[in-house]
Structure 1
Amino acid sequence: MSTPMWRKSSYSGTGDQSVCVEIAPFPSGIGVRDSKNPGLGHLTLPADVFADLIDRAKRDELDL
């Protein structure tokens, strides 16, 4: 298995202001991990579930 290519949004801050997640493609879906603690592991979501999550976040439908 190749090393995942993790990336985070260009809108994310840096240093102590970096409160973002990173994403990477996996054969089984989209990996999501904490950008401040990448060594703690990741959650893999099916691509359709990840797309729905992003759509709902854009519509401000999540209680975050």
Structure 2
Amino acid sequence: MSSSTHWRKSSFSGIGEDNHCVEVAVMDSKVWLRESDIPATAITTTPGQLATFIRTVKTGALDHLS
């Protein structure tokens, strides 16, 4: 991952140093995800896998895991 990677976070997370949330970047046909307060650790996935995960969360299929 290069130092020039453009990380984006949701506008819902607010402005400032204390507003941590998940950040996303796209590089080499992969989607990179990291927690903004721990930027050295990132995971990767494909756009299709991320879309499937988001659809699954929206349906509530994972709600019973809590």
What TM-score do you get using the length of structure 2 for normalisation? 0.70
1:13 Cα shift? 4.2
User: What is residue 30 of structure 1 aligned with on the other side?
Assistant: 31
Structure 2, unmatched stretches of 5+, are none
CA distance in 1, matches of 2:36, 2:51: 20
Structure 1, unmatched stretches of 5+, are none
- Match for 1:5: what amino acid? H
CA distance in 1, matches of 2:22, 2:44: 13
- Match for 1:8: what amino acid? K
> Residue by residue, what CA displacement relative to the aligned partner does 1:4-62 show, whole Å, maximum 9, x if unpaired?
110111111451xx3421000011310000111112x2111011001112222233333
The two structures, once aligned, show a CA RMSD in angstroms of 2.2
The 8 Å contact of residues 7 and 23 in structure 1, kept in 2 or not, is answered as yes
Structure 1 or 2, whichever has the larger Rg, is: 2
Question: Which of structures 1 and 2 has the larger relative contact order (alpha carbons within 8 angstroms, sep 6+)?
Answer: 1
The 8 Å contact of residues 28 and 44 in structure 1, kept in 2 or not, is answered as no
